[in-house]
Amino acid sequence: MDTNTLLVIFIAVTSVAVIIQMGVMIGLFVSVKKTGDRVRELADKVETTGLPALEAARSLMVDSKPKVDEVVKNVSETVAMVRNQAQRIELTLNDVVDRTRLQVIRADEMVTRAIDKVEQTTESVAHGVTSPVRQISGLFSGLAAGFNAYFGGAKSRDRINVPQDEMFI
C-alpha cells in the first residue's frame, strides 16, 4: 500500500477516535453539570435551613455552657457532701452499735449478779428458816419421845417395831 493510503486510513481512524472521545467528553460534561446543579441545590438548602439551625445550636451551647458548668460543679459538691455525711453516719452508727453492745454486756452482768444474789438470798433464807424448824421439830420429837417413854413406857415396849410403809398393805 502506498503511503498516501496509509496516511488517509490513519487520519480517518484518528478522526473517529477524536469523535468518540468528544462524545465521551460531552457525556462527562453533562453528567458533571447535573451533579453540580444538584450540589448547588443541596448547598442552597443547607444555607437556608442547616446553617441557621447550626447557628442556633452553637448559640445555645455557648449560652448553656456556664449553666452546665455550674450544674456539674453543684453535682460534684453535692456528691462530696453526701459522701462526707455517709461517712459521718457510718461512724455514728458504729459508735451506737459499740455502745449498745457494751450496755448489753453490762445489763447481762447486772442480771447475772442479781440472779446470783437472789439464789444466795434464797439459800440463806431456806437455811435460816429450815434450820430452826428442824431444831424445833427435833426438840418436839425428843419431848414427845420423852413423854412417851415416861408416861407410856410399858405400852411402847409391847409394841412391835414395824416400819410405817409396811402397814399400808
Q: Chain-wide mean pLDDT for the chain? A: 87
Work out how many domains the chain is built from and give that number.
1
Of residues 7 and 152, more confidently modeled: 7
Among candidates 5, 10, 3, 32, which has minimal Cα distance to 18?
Answer: 10
Q: What is the pLDDT of residue 161?
A: 58
In a domain, 54, yes or no: yes
In a domain, 47, yes or no: yes
Q: Kindly indicate the confidence band of residue 99, based on its pLDDT and cuts at 50, 70 and 90.
A: very high
The pTM of this model reads: 0.40
Inform me whether the pLDDT recorded for 162 exceeds 70. Answer: no
* Sign, CA torsion 115/116/121/127: positive
Q: What are 15-37's pLDDT values in tens digits? A: 999 999 999 999 999 999 999 99
In a domain, 117, yes or no: yes
Collapsing DSSP to helix, strand or coil, 152 comes out as: coil
Q: What is the pLDDT of residue 132?
A: 82
In a domain, 56, yes or no: yes
Angle at 145 between CA 140 and CA 146, to 5 degrees: 95
Q: Kindly indicate the confidence band of residue 14, based on its pLDDT and cuts at 50, 70 and 90.
A: very high
Among 2-6, 32-36, 151-155, name the most confident range.
Answer: 32-36
From residue 86, alpha-carbon distances to 74, 100, 156 in Å are 18, 21, 93
Q: What are 126-141's pLDDT values in tens digits? A: 888 888 888 888 888 8
Q: What would the 3-class secondary structure string for 8-57 be?
A: HHHHHHHHHHHHHHHHHHHHHHHHHHHHHHHHHHHHHHHHHHHHHHHHHH
Q: Note down the domain range covering 113.
A: 10-127
Inform me whether the pLDDT recorded for 168 exceeds 60. Answer: no
In a domain, 153, yes or no: no
In a domain, 91, yes or no: yes
Q: Kindly indicate the confidence band of residue 56, based on its pLDDT and cuts at 50, 70 and 90.
A: confident
Average pLDDT of the residues in 78-89: 94
In a domain, 74, yes or no: yes
Q: Which amino acid is at 12?
A: A
In a domain, 149, yes or no: no
Of residues 94 and 134, more confidently modeled: 94
Residue with cell 449478779: 113
